[in-house]
Amino acid sequence: MRQKDYRTEKVKEFQMASLSFEVIHVLVLCAFILISASSQSHPHQPEKHAALFVFGDSLYDAGNNNYINTITNYRSNFLPYGETFFGFPTGRVSDGRLIPDFIAEFAKLPFLPPYLQPGNNQFSYGANFASAGAGALDETNQGLVISLNTQLTYFKNVEKLLSIGTNDYLSPFFRNSTVLQSSQKQNVHIVIGNLTVVIKEIYKKGGRKFGLVNLWPICCLPTMKAIKSQQGGAGECMEEATEVAKLHNKALSKILQDLESKLKGFKYSFSNFYALLEERMNNRSKYGFKEGKIACCGSGPYRGRPSCGGKRGIKEYELCRNVSEYVFFDSAHPTDRAYQQMAELIWSGTCNTTGHCTLKELFD
């Protein structure tokens, strides 16, 4: 039986596998959608309170993919995932909590269980619809994840934190994919257009306060650096993915300003997730980390191969001894500690980390 102390772990069987799947999990942008909800089932609770609804991919999926017919690549319901905080795997792609968990805590709300979890029929505090691997486009990992449009259907059923888009941009880099085989500008236009449609639909259903983050530095994730190394690189980031992030972030900022000017009562927070994560990767000791570019769990260069847990085709993996010293838990997802630091700034940071207003101000 494996001890709970983090250490280097080797599993005897080893199979080479593509690095592409891990990129499919990465999250791009999020919107925390707050709705005043009457509480009839909780008599000791104020008559109205904020409800938090979460849309997105693996940065926000609390375990919905545990309950759909998909492949192991899109699940994290096995150790060592979840071990640091929960003591068992929940389906979250981290060693512990994710940003929505911290936001719920700051807002004095309970953790939101996966919407699809059996027996989950109480939505007065909100719901989590996110699905690891999801994109803003239905074609992204189609049939294996819960698409954004399907998440929107779930939301309409319960009458939102939205994080979606990264997988739409990264899939074409690493797959023989028919999704977005056009220019980067066209790609961004399509993704932003779909996101805008979803935001407007949520607005029609009563959503008024949206919290979003921009696209993070996807070009320098451990999995991207590992792929670059496999292509003959020497530790540099995959700059091919940098331009699309810049285009996306600029377009997202503009569309939010447009929506605010056109939709009565529309308010939003826009956090610089790119800078928050990049700062910890490049200045790890300043934030109490010892490693900012190598993952705690994985294999190969930078532990960037998606082998954490040994359930995704690659059987051999390494596990660090002290996860709290790492910015990244696996090849593309931060640790509980890193998420907590960034969530605190998204909740009530300064103008250097948030734009327009903070999430805390939206809840007040």
Active site residues: 58, 330, 333
Cβ(248)–Cβ(165) below 8 Å: yes
Asked if residue 80 has a cis previous peptide bond (ω within 30° of 0), the answer is yes
Could you give the C-alpha distances from 58 to 54, 62, 98, 133, 262, in angstroms and in order? 12, 8, 9, 6, 31
**Is 93 in a helix, a strand, or coil?**
coil
Could you give the C-alpha distances from 192 to 33, 107, 123, in angstroms and in order? 17, 28, 28
Cβ(27)–Cβ(104) below 8 Å: no
Residue 179 is given by DSSP the state T
Locate tokens 């220019």: which residue? 183
**Is 126 in a helix, a strand, or coil?**
strand
The residues near 20 (Cβ < 8 Å, ≥ 6 apart) are: 174, 175
The residues near 334 (Cβ < 8 Å, ≥ 6 apart) are: 94, 277, 327, 328, 342
Kind plus residue range of the DSSP H or E element containing 173: helix 166-174
| Main-chain phi, psi angles of 233, to 5 degrees | -75, 175
Strand partners, 326: 291
Cβ(103)–Cβ(32) below 8 Å: yes
| Main-chain phi, psi angles of 127, to 5 degrees | -160, 155
Locate tokens 């996110």: which residue? 130
Cβ(107)–Cβ(29) below 8 Å: no
Handedness of CA 247, 248, 253, 258 (dihedral sign): positive
